[in-house]
A = this chain, B = another copy of it.
Amino acid sequence: MSPLPPAHPFDDDKLREECGVFGVVGVADAANFVALGLHALQHRGQEAGGIVSHDATLGFNSARRFGYVRDNFTKASLMETLPGPIAIGHVRYSTSGSKGPTQIRDVQPFFGEFSMGGAAIAHNGNITNANALRRELIERGSIFQSSSDSECIIHLMARSLQQNIPERMKDALRRVEGAFSVVAMTRTKLIGVRDPLGVRPLVLGRVGEGWALSSETCALDIIGAEFVREIEPGEMVVITEKGVESYQPFDRKPSRFCIFEHVYFSRPDSILGGRSVYETREAIGRGLARESAVDADLVCPVPDSGTPAAIGFALESGIPFGMGIVRNQYMGRTFIEPTEQIRNMGVRLKLNVNRALIRGKRVVLVDDSVVRGTTSRKIKDMILDAGAKEVHFRIASPPTAWPCFYGVDTPERDKLLAAQMTEDEMCAHLGVDSLRFISLDGLYKAVGEAGGRDPAAPRYCDACFSGEYPVKPSDMIERGFALKAAE
Give chain A's interface residues, CB within 8 Å of chain B: 29, 32-33, 35-36, 39-40, 42-43, 46, 68-71, 74-77, 79, 104-105, 112-115, 135, 138-145, 154-155, 158-159, 218, 221-222, 267-269, 271, 275-276, 278-279, 282, 304, 307-308, 311, 315, 320-323, 326, 328-332, 335-342, 345, 348-349, 352-357
In the complex, are the beta carbons of B141 and A43 less than 8 A apart?
no
CA distance A323 to B33 in the complex (A): 26
Write the nearest CB–CB distance from A29 to chain B, whole angstroms. Answer: 7
Partner of A308, one of B74, B135, B323: B323
CA distance A140 to B159 in the complex (A): 7
Closest to A105 in B: B105
Which residues of chain B are within 8 angstroms of A144 by Cβ–Cβ distance? 113
Interface pairs (29), CB distance under 8 Å: A39-B349, A40-B328, A40-B352, A42-B328, A43-B329, A68-B330, A68-B332, A70-B335, A71-B332, A74-B335, A75-B339, A104-B104, A112-B143, A141-B141, A141-B159, A142-B142, A142-B158, A143-B154, A221-B355, A267-B326, A268-B354, A269-B352, A269-B353, A276-B354, A278-B322, A278-B323, A278-B326, A278-B356, A315-B320
CA distance A30 to B218 in the complex (A): 44
In the complex, are the beta carbons of B268 and A326 less than 8 A apart?
yes
CA distance A68 to B71 in the complex (A): 14
In the complex, are the beta carbons of B32 and A339 less than 8 A apart?
yes
Other 9 A-B pairs with CB < 8 A, given A29-B341, A114-B138: A115-B135, A141-B141, A142-B142, A142-B158, A143-B143, A267-B352, A271-B355, A279-B357, A304-B329
Which residues of chain B are within 8 angstroms of A114 by Cβ–Cβ distance? 138
Q: Which 4 pairs from chain A and chain B are nearest by CB?
A: A276-B356, A141-B159, A42-B330, A269-B326
In the complex, are the beta carbons of B330 and A307 less than 8 A apart?
no
CA distance A21 to B222 in the complex (A): 37
Write the nearest CB–CB distance from A368 to chain B, whole angstroms. Answer: 14
In the complex, are the beta carbons of B337 and A77 less than 8 A apart?
yes
In the complex, are the beta carbons of B268 and A336 less than 8 A apart?
no
Which residues of chain B are within 8 angstroms of A353 by Cβ–Cβ distance? 221, 269
Write the nearest CB–CB distance from A222 to chain B, whole angstroms. Answer: 6
Partner of A79, one of B138, B142, B275, B339: B339
